[in-house]
A and B are shown apart, each in its own frame.
Chain A
Amino acid sequence: MRNAWILCKKELKSYFASPIAYGLMAFFAAIAGYFFYVAVAIFVTRSIESQMMGGGFPMNVNEWVVRPVLMNISVVGLFLIPMITMRLFAEEKRSGTMELLATSPIRDWEMILGKWLAAFLLYLAILGISALNMLLLFLYGQPDARPILVGYLGLILQAGGLLALGTFLSTMTKNQIVAGAATFGVCLLLWVFDWVSAYETATWAKVLSYLSVVTHFEPFSKGILDTKDVIFYISVIVLGLFLTARSIEALRWRA
């Protein structure tokens, strides 16, 4: 475990030694702020409209602001994740430092866990910025806290799974751009798989839809914590890390 932490720290340092981490954080802060602003603006307009038509004023903040913002953030996450994971192993392979790691007295899973954890912590930091917007809601509105927390748990779990898949894809090449593009492709697929369920009810469509991250994230965004969605995301994390381990092992044999 100490070894995993050693690697995790090294990865975090290298994220923050280059502009990547800061760039992603700034980008995410801007875009999350924008979503938040738009959602709040719509909410306010609608509320005024509704009040003029004689409806009750305090419409549900959770439904009108929190939910769309969380959905949008989850989609933006799909774009961020490849940028976080692409270098994890590809860069070590390219620069020859994989030889250092592979000949050090650490186990493969310690190395993999450390790297994934670093990516995960960076994502948490980025996500934390969007959480600041949510705090504003508590200052000016009376949102329900539980759905927001559940929503963030969903974002975290989803990112964990996709980061694990990205980590795996990063072991497949020494070109980080290729790794990033492949991860982006996978994220995109897992996003659009859900679309078929809109017009198709056959089994294959159900399977595709089940595999989609959107299907499993939606309940979280509504504040519904369902074990089967939690299990789905945890399975994706485990699968991603397992594939990474197999890939590292195969690298040794082919090296």
Chain B
Amino acid sequence: MIKAEGLTKYYPRTVAVDHISFEVEKGEIVGFLGPNGAGKTTTMRMLTCFMPPSEGTAKVAGYDVQEQPLEVKKRVGYLPENPPLYPEMEVLEYLEFVGRLKGVPNSKLKQRIDEVVERCALGDVLKKLNGKLSRGYQQRVGLAQALIHNPDVLILDEPTVGLDPKQINETRRLIKSLAGEHTIILSTHILPEVEQTCQKVIIINKGKLIATDTVERLTQRLRGSELLAVEVDGATSALQVQERLEKVPGVSRVTLKSTTDHRYRFEVETTKGASVRPEVARAVVEAGWNLYELHTAAMSLEEIFLQLTATDQPSATGGDR
């Protein structure tokens, strides 16, 4: 339903999105995960034809965002980071306006409005001014606006940001209920949000794609392993070391990486995280070998994510024009 290839956006000083490729199947809910400034908003703006990519292509619902933007726009509902509401309009008036704007025929308009009003539970505020609504209601009107033309694809930019926990729960439930009928991409910088609402996750940081996986596998990897690099010298054979290391509790797999003058380099996959490191060190030393090196070889997803969220500032939102 969505296919991005080498999607790139340059700004005068930064590469906001750096050759990102991914695919989203029909009916999936995909989480776009990354800290502030990762390039989430920029990517979404390219997918919604708000702005053209500097390089690369994207196809949404079968149409190229640059070749046939009108066709794409007809099939995409977009909730930007700040709900695009006119404060002086009443909710009902606003939904009518957006419905017409999105090309809903007059004969179907009332039915569509009734539907989104029910979905987003807006019945009580139809006659209220947008500008007078609470943040939670504004977000719901924003969602209703994105749904009004019953689009194939929904693109939601940080749909739960700025909401209180109760509202967050409601919004997540609402989004989940939309899956299946609509293909949904939502961006977030909160990991649990992805775990709770999405089936697939695309992690980006500093404009680059870091990982894309199903949420199940991602969480498995998050709970589990750390990758250690271990360098040992003084053993008679690599196999000997390998067997010894495999006996250390918490080690799930040991692979020989290289051998130089009886110095063996292994990659050790663990299941329990950092606590395994002293055990590995002890095992090597107790066997009478020399331990040359012991450190985490690759960042685990957890570490990636810790790093991601460490740069997370509550208010600084990019994408300012």
Contact = CB atoms under 8 A, between A and B. Distances in A.
Nearest to A96: B82
Contacts of A105: 70-71, 73-74, 102-103
B80 interface: yes
Nearest to A102: B50
Interface string B50-81: 11100000000000000000110110101011
B97 A103 contact: no
A95 interface: yes
In this complex, the member of A3, A105, A251, A253 whose beta carbon has the largest number of chain B beta carbons within 10 angstroms is A105
A97 B50 contact: no
Interface in A52-103: 93, 95-103
Contacts of B82: 96
A104 interface: yes
A96 B93 CA distance: 18
A175 B137 CA distance: 27
Contact of B48 (A95, A103, A107, A254): A103
Nearest to A93: B321
A6 interface: yes
A104 B74 CA distance: 7
B86 A103 contact: no
Given A93-B321, A105-B103, A99 B50 contact: yes
Interface in B233-267: none
A95 B86 contact: yes
A105 B98 CA distance: 11
A228 interface: no
A96 to B, nearest CB: 5
B17 interface: no
Contacts of A106: 101
Contact of A18 (B49, B52, B78, B88): B88
Given A18-B88, A253-B52, A103 B321 contact: no
B98 A252 contact: no
B144 to A, nearest CB: 13
Interface string A199-241: 0000000000000000000000000000000000000000000
Contacts of B171: none
Contacts of A254: 321
Contacts of A251: 321
A255 B87 contact: no
A99 B101 contact: no
A10 B89 CA distance: 9
Contact of B84 (A17, A100, A107, A252): A100
A51 interface: no
DSSP majority for the A interface? helix
Interface string B281-294: 00000000000000
Interface string B155-191: 0000000000000000000000000000000000000
Interface string A102-119: 111111000000000000
A142 interface: no
Contact of B76 (A6, A14, A95, A103): A103
Contacts of A104: 73, 98, 101-102
A11 to B, nearest CB: 11
B86 to A, nearest CB: 6
Contacts of B87: 95
B228 to A, nearest CB: 45
Contacts of B71: 105
B246 to A, nearest CB: 55
Contacts of B85: 95, 97
B119 interface: no
Given A104-B102, A105-B74, A97 B52 contact: no
A3 B100 CA distance: 8
A100 B76 CA distance: 11
A255 B48 CA distance: 13
Interface string B21-61: 00000000000000000000000010011111000000000
Nearest to B145: A100
B51 A253 contact: yes
Contact of B88 (A17, A96, A99, A101): A17
Contacts of A13: 89, 93
Contact of A103 (B50, B81, B83, B100): B50
Contact of B97 (A6, A96, A174): A6
Nearest to A3: B101
A100 B85 CA distance: 9
Contacts of A17: 88-89
A98 B76 CA distance: 16
A255 B97 CA distance: 25
A224 B83 CA distance: 52
A194 to B, nearest CB: 38
Interface of A: 3, 6-7, 10, 13-14, 17-18, 93, 95-107, 174, 251-255
The 4 closest A-B pairs by CB, nearest first: A100-B84, A105-B73, A255-B51, A97-B84
14 contacts: A14-B88, A95-B84, A95-B85, A95-B87, A97-B85, A97-B86, A98-B84, A99-B45, A99-B84, A100-B145, A103-B50, A105-B71, A107-B70, A255-B45
